[in-house]
Amino acid sequence: MKHVLSDLWQITKKDLLEFARDRIRLITFIIMPIFMMVLTGFIFPSQNSIKNVPIGVVNQNGTTGNQLLDVIKNLEITSGNKAFATKTYSSINAIKDGIKKQEINGGIYIPADFSRDISINKQAQVTIVEDQSNPQISGIATQTLTNVVQGFGQEIGKQKVGVLVAKTGARGPNAGVLITPITSKLEGILPGSTNYFEFVAPGIMAMVVMTAVLTGLAASVSREREQGTLDGILISPISRLAIILGKAMSQSIRGLAQGAIVLLLAIFLFGVTINGSILLVALLLLLGIFSFVGLGILVSASAAEQETATQLLFMFQFPMLFLSGAFFPTQQMPQIMQDIAHVLPLTYAIEALRKVIILGAGVSSVMNELIILTVFGAVTLAIAVPLFRKMITR
């Protein structure tokens, strides 16, 4: 047993040296996380990021309608960028046709009796049309339009209440306060606002690390098996545990390196701040790896060929990416999906990383996740190692 550690290290060292010499693998290794970050970071929209969303407008009313449209047209959510690019249509059906043709991602219809209804104190109504083919954009767009219409209505209400208050001769009450007696103030735990990057960076980090251990380990074992070099290792008088842990170790080091690339990109290129302890981030990544090593070994042992291994893993990995909340919050999912998510170690790794990176959580706040990851890793490893021993000489 005294040799296990040194044997393990020989295998790790050899794997890393081999990897460092393989230019193509090295390049993809570095480029992959950059790709993931850039793509996911820029593609997914956030509230801050809508600009020039094309919408259709129909104004059958006149001046008051135009006033509302002006507010919409000039709305800027990020400074210097108009939120909407408006295009005038003749009717509400024309807006719907426009959405079908995907010329626009939504629209607003102001009916002819809009200003008359307001003046006779009847509740006026505008229609907001949504693009159901694009829930992400249309969700933000319709919400923004609703807010604009509400704000516009409140301004009119304020004027009317002002007139009424003046008539009663009462002093004091401010029309604005009467219209909106309660306001809410938004306060985060940290100063500033978060963006999708901050949400997605921990997810990508956990994911590349997981991929390295799962896919990387299985591919590395099956590649050696196909090339025949695995026989050279297996015929050495060393513990089988040292063999598989040595391979797992080299993959883990690669995974951590990739995780570090993601972290550095997130900080320096995408402006993500690590609010918690960087050591805790590293610990979580390590435990994330640990939780996957057992699974990785199981797949490596069972798949004889590299291709089978890759396919087997794809079946695991693909749903895991979406269920674990790497890209979408788990809370948005149906209950059954949430239940599945809570069986996956990745979910806990990502949740904990997010807490630490975005919210600056300390060890005590992620204790549950730390324990779950450790237990999951220990249990799968305890199952996987004896199985590997058996299956490798099947």
Q: Is 28 in the site for another protein (CB under 8 A)?
A: no
Burial class (CB in 10 A: 0-12, 13-18, 19+), 121: exposed
| Ordered alpha helix ranges (H), 269-303 | 278-302
Give, as ranges, the residues between 361 and 390 that touch another protein (CB under 8 A): 390
Of 87, 106, 88, nearest in space to 96 by CA: 106
Instruction: Give the one residue of 10, 46, 86, 302 binding another protein; rule: CB under 8 A.
Output: 10
In the block, tokens 């706040």 appear at 365
Q: Is 238 in the site for another protein (CB under 8 A)?
A: yes
Piece in contact with another protein (CB under 8 A), picked from 206-214, 229-237, 290-298, 318-326: 229-237
Instruction: Give the one residue of 24, 235, 336, 343 binding another protein; rule: CB under 8 A.
Output: 235
Q: Is 22 in the site for another protein (CB under 8 A)?
A: yes
What contacts 347, CB < 8 A, 6 or more positions away?
Answer: 323, 324, 325, 330, 341
Q: Nearer Cβ to another protein, position 79 or 393? A: 393
Q: Is 24 in the site for another protein (CB under 8 A)?
A: no
- Binding residue count for another protein, defined by CB under 8 A: 23
Q: Nearer Cβ to another protein, position 179 or 387? A: 387
Two structure tokens written together for 330:
């788990």
Burial class (CB in 10 A: 0-12, 13-18, 19+), 163: exposed
Q: Is 231 in the site for another protein (CB under 8 A)?
A: yes
Distance CA 303, CA 307 (A): 8
Of 296, 204, 281, 206, nearest in space to 250 by CA: 296
Distance CA 26, CA 24 (A): 5
- Contact of 256 with 293, CB cutoff 8 Å: no
CA distances from 333 to 318, 322, 354 (A): 16, 10, 18
The minimum distance between CB 6 and another protein, in angstroms, equals: 8
Distance CA 109, CA 129 (A): 8
Q: Nearer Cβ to another protein, position 24 or 182? A: 24
Instruction: Give the one residue of 169, 228, 329, 334 binding another protein; rule: CB under 8 A.
Output: 228
Coil, strand or helix at 62:
coil
Residues in contact with another protein, shown as a per-residue x/- string from 167 to 206 under the rule CB under 8 A: ----------------------------------------
Distance CA 203, CA 182 (A): 37
What contacts 263, CB < 8 A, 6 or more positions away?
Answer: 201, 205, 274, 281
Q: Is 223 in the site for another protein (CB under 8 A)?
A: no
Piece in contact with another protein (CB under 8 A), picked from 9-17, 115-123, 180-188, 198-206: 9-17
Instruction: Give the one residue of 169, 191, 192, 237 binding another protein; rule: CB under 8 A.
Output: 237
Q: Is 113 in the site for another protein (CB under 8 A)?
A: no
The minimum distance between CB 4 and another protein, in angstroms, equals: 12
Instruction: Give the one residue of 101, 171, 185, 394 binding another protein; rule: CB under 8 A.
Output: 394
The minimum distance between CB 35 and another protein, in angstroms, equals: 25
Piece in contact with another protein (CB under 8 A), picked from 8-16, 38-46, 151-159, 326-334: 8-16
124: left (phi over 0), alpha (psi -120 to 50) or beta: beta
The two beta strands, 53-59 and 106-110, are parallel
Q: Is 70 in the site for another protein (CB under 8 A)?
A: no
Coil, strand or helix at 303:
coil
Piece in contact with another protein (CB under 8 A), picked from 3-11, 190-198, 274-282, 355-363: 3-11
Q: Is 305 in the site for another protein (CB under 8 A)?
A: no
- Contact of 69 with 110, CB cutoff 8 Å: yes
Q: Is 308 in the site for another protein (CB under 8 A)?
A: no
Q: Nearer Cβ to another protein, position 159 or 227? A: 227
The minimum distance between CB 25 and another protein, in angstroms, equals: 10
Residues found near another protein in the complex (CB under 8 A): 3, 7, 10-11, 14, 17-18, 21-22, 227-229, 231-238, 390, 393-394
